[in-house]
């Protein structure tokens, strides 16, 4: 067993009970330790998708705050990091296979095509972002509608300085969302389905961090273009997977992510968008796709 300092986990309760208790008390070190415990147990039992879910939650919490990091302790953190490293090399893991396939296909695209591919995926988060933005300190997620339109237009012509600054403010707010208490315990109701936790954005590198990274890269590209620079930042493709939300479906009981209807539909949209940006891209059609995607409730 690991030593966790002065505050001991109550061993007479199931991890799920302790987790709920720690969350009520906003004891984030306790939450992180319990997520680690759930993840380690799942991994030892061969359930690698649940291991991915819980271990990455533990890592996200203790990595965001030095005080929590110190309370959790080096032994647990070292083992958690080792387990995450092994998961990254695991075969047959949805969390590995889909991003790897996206990355491979992105190599066949030009930089503008990769940017457009990612932006189409971000558009599918607009409605979810609007609902999540009603949670405390999550207002930034309600700006995705505006941001998608601004970034789409700015792929064609440079924006105003005011719009550029607003996008930069949004980018910074996305970065700051990770580490706020609401990120660990905020949730919204989903009709006919389990509640969606804000922490469900944590899967596949962290959706809010991928949005931050994409937006930051876009801002740097615009700054370079405004100075007529020839050396532009290269777009990444990982945001293309942002609307898959595997953590939500694993947490709510899915055994095989590839069989979840919402995930199957999203994968079809990803590859459809790939074909579109590679072979049939027009600004008009891209605008239509974005408008349609912004109305889509990806959890239904």
- pLDDT of 178 reads 85
- pLDDT of 11 reads 58
- pLDDT of 179 reads 82
Q: Is the dihedral of CA 130, 158, 273, 168 positive or negative?
A: negative
Q: How far apart are CA 15 and CA 247, in angstroms?
A: 18
Helix boundaries (H) for 13-143: 15-25, 28-44, 48-64, 66-72, 74-88, 94-106, 111-123, 126-132
- pLDDT of 206 reads 84
DSSP 199-263: GGGGSTT-HHHHHHHHHHHHHHHHHHHHTT-S-PPPPPSGGGGTT--HHHHHHTT-S-GGG-HHH
- Residues in the chain, pLDDT under 70: 1-12
Q: How far apart are CA 34 and CA 51, in angstroms?
A: 12
- pLDDT of 282 reads 97
Taking only the tens place, the pLDDT of each residue in 74-92 is 999 999 999 999 999 999 8
Residues β-bridged to residue 196:
188
Taking residue 264's Cβ as centre, other Cβ atoms within 10 Å add up to 12
- The gap from C-alpha 22 to its chain's centroid, in whole angstroms, comes to 24
- pLDDT of 30 reads 97
């Amino acid at each position: 067993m690991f030593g966790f300092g002065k505050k001991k986990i109550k061993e007479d309760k199931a991890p799920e009970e302790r987790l709920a208790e720690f969350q009520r008390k906003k004891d984030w070190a306790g939450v992180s330790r319990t997520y680690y415990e759930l993840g380690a147990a799942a991994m030892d039992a061969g359930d690698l998708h649940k291991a991915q879910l819980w271990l990455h939650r533990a890592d996200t919490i203790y990595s965001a705050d030095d005080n929590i990091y110190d309370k959790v302790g080096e032994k647990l953190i070292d083992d958690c990091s080792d387990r995450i490293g092994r998961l990254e090399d695991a075969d047959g893991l949805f969390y590995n296979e889909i991003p790897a396939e996206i990355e491979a296909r992105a190599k066949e695209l030009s930089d503008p095509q990769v940017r457009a591919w990612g932006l189409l995926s971000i558009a599918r988060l607009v409605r979810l972002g609007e609902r999540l933005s009603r949670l405390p300190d999550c207002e930034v997620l309600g700006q995705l509608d505006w941001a998608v339109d601004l970034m789409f237009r700015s792929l064609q012509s440079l924006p105003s300085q005011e719009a550029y600054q607003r996008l930069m403010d949004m980018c910074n707010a996305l970065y700051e969302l990770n580490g706020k208490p609401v990120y660990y315990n905020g949730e919204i109701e989903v009709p006919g389905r389990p509640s969606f936790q804000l922490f469900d954005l944590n899967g596949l590198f962290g959706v809010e961090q991928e949005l931050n990274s994409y937006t930051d890269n876009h801002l740097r590209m615009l700054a370079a273009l405004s100075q007529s620079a020839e050396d532009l930042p290269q777009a990444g493709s990982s945001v293309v997977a942002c609307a898959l939300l595997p953590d939500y479906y694993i947490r709510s009981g899915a055994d095989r992510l590839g069989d979840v209807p919402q995930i199957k539909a999203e994968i079809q949209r990803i590859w459809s968008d790939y074909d579109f940006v590679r072979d049939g891209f027009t600004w008009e059609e891209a605008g239509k796709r974005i408008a349609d995607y912004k109305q889509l409730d990806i959890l239904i």
